[in-house]
Amino acid sequence: MAYDRFGRRLHYLRISLTDRCNLRCVYCMPEDMTFMPSATAMQDDEILRLVRLFAQLGVDKIRLTGGEPTVRAGVVELVRAIHETPGIREITMTTNGILLSRMARPLAEAGLKRVNVSLDTLHAGKFRRLTRWGDLEDVLDGIQAAEEAGLQPVKLNAVVVRGYNETDVVDLARLTLNHPWQVRFIEMMPFAGATDFQQLMLVTADMMRARIEEAFGPLEPVDGGRLDGEARLFRLPGAQGQIGFIASVSQPFCAACTRLRLTADGHLRLCLLREDEADLLTPLREGASDEELRRLIVKAVWRKPWGHGLAQGEAPQDRTMSQIGG
Ligand code: SAM
Ligand code: SF4
């Protein structure tokens, strides 16, 4: 089992399948983003070998992300192979939903259990402004396809950006009245490339909640307001779905963090918001044995930091969110 020095059992691995994307969200990457050369990125067999080693160390839950995981060639077969890896109990995906209308069913058949779909607004013009390239209809079709394929319960992720969509939290929250969805509002985090924008345009979870409560009245805490993963959950009175707040910046949940991240170029990232990483792909390509790789992983996991340093003004400057795998 992989434990860190604080006794946290690390059993949840997020894998960035690619740093590439078919959108250019303003809070994530610049429009003229430069992507890594394909040779630098992990190949399918390399991902599968690492997944097998992580599973042997106690990882049982995998989330595929990116970049946009659905743009990776052969993603359905990769999902199937990860699903068949002994020890992997659950495989999920975070996606922008653009390609889901045709990929939801094959992904579900390959063993994908659930999806988190990013949706920051229900207004087509604002959606285009936030994603620079996106068509809202594609995402709405994708969500429907995900539900029909059984990728449930669907969770929707909305990053809230001042001047772009802070008033849209009301419409998004309203979705939970008649859908069994979990709509999660996310505070924008600072990364390389757009750090100033991300810090200036931050809307805190308290501000989002105040706006929602102004429209609907007080939110009811779910499970006494305890954290569910990274989200604190609430419900509108009588609603089918739930509302979550992910307050990574204003109310960090680091103590409960059981996540590890594998970047698209095969580095084990110990904290989303800290630059410390262990390169696994280079030793793997240089012929390291399973035992040597496992030892590298265990050693790196041990030094997982307690939490991020945003409150001390420390934001990661080495990679964008899409390069780490959000
Ligand atoms: N392309 C997929 C998507 O958009 O869902 C997966 C990768 S994306 C980097 C993963 C999640 O990170 C998305 O929900 C996205 O909204 C969120 N995200 C991107 N940049 C962010 C930032 N600066 N702060 C907080 N969340 C961010
Ligand atoms: Fe692409 Fe997701 Fe980043 Fe948007 S948030 S640019 S969809 S990787």
| Distance from residue 289's CA to the centre of ligand 1 (Å) | 34
Residues of the chain with pLDDT under 50: none
Residue 134 CA neighbour count, 13 Å, CB half: 31
- Which atom of ligand 1 sits closest to the CA of residue 248? 25
Which residue's CA is the closest to the ligand 1 atom numbered 26? 188
Distance (angstroms) between ligand 1 centre and the Cα of 326 equals 5
The predicted pLDDT at position 8 comes to 76
Give residue limits of the domains in the chain: 12-324
Ligand nearest to the CA of 33: 2
Nearest Cα residue to 311 out of 231, 226, 227, 248: 248
Query: Residue 258: what pLDDT?
Result: 79
CATH 3.20.20.70 fits 12-324, yes or no: yes
User: Which of 16, 20, 22, 24 for a ligand 2 pocket mutation test, highest count of atoms within 8 Å of Cβ?
Assistant: 24
DSSP helix/strand/coil, 289: coil
What's this model's pTM, rounded to 2 decimal places?
Answer: 0.94
In this prediction, residue 5 carries a pLDDT of 77
The size of the chain, in residues, is 326
Measured distance CA(257)–CA(268) in Å, rounded: 15
| Ligand 2 nearest-atom number relative to CA 98 | 7
Give the burial class of 195: count Cβ atoms within 10 A of its Cβ; 0-12 exposed, 13-18 middle, 19 or more buried: middle
> What pLDDT was estimated at residue 4?
78
Q: Which ligand is nearest to the CA of 189?
A: 1
Ligand 2 centroid to Cα of residue 182, in Å, is 20
Distance of alpha carbon 133 from its chain centroid, rounded? 20
Of 25, 112, 319, best ligand 1 pocket probe by most atoms within 8 Å of the beta carbon: 25
96 in ligand 2 pocket by Cβ < 6 Å? yes
> How much is the pLDDT for 309?
63
Do 12 and 259 form a contact (C-beta atoms < 8 A)? yes
